[in-house]
Homo-oligomer: A and B are copies of this chain.
Amino acid sequence: MSKPATITDVARLAGVSITTVSRILNNKPDVAQATRQRVLDAIQQLNFTPHVQAQRLAAGKSQSIAVLYPSDSLGFTELEFEFFVGASQVATKAGFLFNLIVTPMNEQTLLNLYRSNQVDGVILMEVHLNDRRVAVLRERGYPFVLIGRCTENTGLSTIDLDFETAMLLACEHLYSLGHRHIGFTNLIGARAGYGPAIRSLWGYQRACEQFGIEPIYRELKPTIDELYRATEALLDEQPGMTAMITLHTGPLVGAIRAAQNRGLCVPDQFSIVGILSDQMAQFISPPLTAISFPAQLMGSRAAQMLIRKLQDADYEDKQVLLKPRLVIRDSTAPARTSER
């Protein structure tokens, strides 16, 4: 574990000043081709790698970004993971360090992240319509992007799935299959200001109006048990219900099991549409008809936006809204005319 070579060693070996070496390291102009080669050889020979802490201290930048996913929220499924992988890949490629922070942060610790130069910018997940974190960061002018949206998004960089359209698509699909009684179990938090919940509800309500069907609605916590019980309850109360949409990702099996336990075969007697990543949808039996959740894409786009924002002083903030895509698999089927 001998001490690694420093820029001084390289300079000495190449017979130049450290300034020149620094120029080459940072691809600055004003250096003769011959000198450049000599320095590169020296670097090679010494196995030199610049000391990142020193670089960052001198440059006044941390060259790293973080994703904040407060783990007290919904827990982890593959979906969150796909966000991280997407962001991580982009960051690494752009020469940024990627930090995943799952510990919930208060305002202080959030600001300290910037003040201590730990990160140049962050990606916020699980944002609420009226998110304190957003207010605090915006006020201080610290760079960040949101996965999700707030009520007021001007001047913010956001990326989000268009949940409203997603619900429309799902309803439309089921309606066209002949279903006229379509339930919807939403994530909890529509009242508390949780974006996906609210916007999904809007979409569902609009679809119901448009198709002239009666809403059958529940909000519940994301556990298998909750969804199981809720599905049972809905089936009891709404004997005509032949299909269901749920925003719950992992716990979705609860709905399938509840239906099957009633002797309702999915999809022949009961159709289910979810919102999941393609991989997750395939890992379920039966393979799920679902709005495809492009989590990895969203993660990488978010990282791209953030990094461009950091590098390009007059980068213009954008609010990206991804068009949802419905992938039809084996959990939806035409409604039987003579129902149950």
Contact = CB atoms under 8 A, between A and B. Distances in A.
Contacts of A141: 1
B100 A52 contact: no
A57 B58 CA distance: 10
Contact of A224 (B98, B101, B282): B282
Interface in A25-69: 47-54, 56-57, 62
Interface stretch (A76-84, A182-190, A203-211, A312-320): A76-84
A191 to B, nearest CB: 28
A269 interface: no
B253 A283 contact: yes
Interface residues on chain A, size class: 35 or more
Nearest to A113: B49
Interface of A: 1, 4, 47-54, 56-57, 62, 71, 76-78, 80-82, 84-85, 88-89, 92-93, 97-103, 111-112, 114-118, 140-142, 224, 250-251, 253, 256-257, 260, 279, 282-285
18 contacts: A4-B116, A47-B115, A49-B112, A49-B116, A51-B57, A51-B117, A53-B56, A71-B85, A71-B89, A84-B100, A98-B100, A98-B101, A100-B100, A224-B283, A250-B283, A253-B285, A256-B285, A283-B284
Lowest 3 CB-CB distances: which A-B pairs, in order?
A: A81-B81, A1-B141, A49-B116
